[in-house]
Amino acid sequence: MRMGSGPRQLALSLDHAESFAREDFLSGPSNASALALIESWPDWPNRSVALVGPEGSGKSHLAAIWAAEGGARFLAARALATTSLPAALATGALVVEDLSVGAFDERALFHLLNLAREEQAFLLLTARTPPAGWTLAIRDVASRLKALPVVAMSAPDDALLRALLVKLFADRQLNVDESLIGYVATRIERSFAAARAVVARLDQEAMQLKRPLTRALAAELLREA
């Protein structure tokens, strides 16, 4: 049963600004290799690299840091077939985001990989799982992807998870105390997606109940989950 029987405020669904600046990237053991890759540009092991990690792990943030440094454009993987690839590579650097099996045109990606090699352009491909494990229809595409250097990001350690929670609350203009952060961090799955989900839920519930977001309220709400 939900605590309290008073009127609930309708929570509006609002976008919350998230900074993709370098100084706002939270670093830790789980993403150290990925951050090192971005900061080592243009001295990459290959001009095309795959950045792999779970949802919400910071792939887009790192891509944005690199794009600001290298003048890269962004292209969603699902838009490969409907985009002018020479135009996408016009700056000599391109981020292709969210590659996953069945969600992109294989011929278009093959053409892009060839074009990037011919023009000696830089490509940063982001995905949730390593391309080497994908089953693809076009053998040459599978071969090219398997040959790419892969830099992986893993689940956050405890310190990074707590720092992420602080940042996510701050992105929503919520100043919460350490007791709430510690309580939440020990009661959710250790993943970036879980951190984002719980912050969104607690923010929404606090607004609906017209109560300040405290450890006590978090305890009530998380016990109900």
First to last CA, the chain: 11
The pair of structure tokens assigned to 1 is: 């049963």
**Helix (DSSP H) and strand (DSSP E) numbers for the chain:** 9, 5
**What phi and psi, each to the nearest 5 degrees, are found at residue 224?**
-80, -20
| Rg for the chain, CA atoms, rounded | 20
Task: List, by residue range, all CATH 1.10.8.60 domains of the chain.
Answer: 158-224
**Could you give the CA distance from residue 131 to residue 143 in angstroms, rounded to a whole number?**
10
pLDDT score at 10: 35
Contact of 180 with 170, CB cutoff 8 Å: no
Tell me, what amino acid is at 45? Answer: P
- Average pLDDT for 151-171: 94
The pair of structure tokens assigned to 132 is: 């080497």
Sign (positive or negative) of CA dihedral 197, 199, 205, 208:
negative
**What phi and psi, each to the nearest 5 degrees, are found at residue 76?**
-70, 140
* pLDDT tops 80 at residue 139: yes
23 or 36: whose pLDDT is higher?
Answer: 36
The pair of structure tokens assigned to 72 is: 């890269």
- Please write the tens of the pLDDT for every residue from 94-126: 999 999 999 999 999 999 999 999 999 999 999
Task: List, by residue range, all CATH 3.40.50.300 domains of the chain.
Answer: 28-152
For residue 116, is it left (φ>0), alpha (ψ between -120 and 50) or beta? alpha
- Among residues 42, 82, 83, which one has the least CA distance to residue 66? 42
Contact of 51 with 59, CB cutoff 8 Å: yes
**Could you give the CA distance from residue 14 to residue 7 in angstroms, rounded to a whole number?**
21
pLDDT score at 1: 31
Please name the fold of domain 158-224: Helicase, Ruva Protein; domain 3 (1.10.8)
pLDDT score at 12: 39
Contact of 25 with 58, CB cutoff 8 Å: yes
**Local structure of 29: helix, strand or coil:** coil
Q: Which CATH code is given to the segment(s) 28-152? A: 3.40.50.300
- Please write the tens of the pLDDT for every residue from 53-66: 998 899 999 999 99
Contact of 156 with 125, CB cutoff 8 Å: no
Mean pLDDT, rounded, of the chain: 90
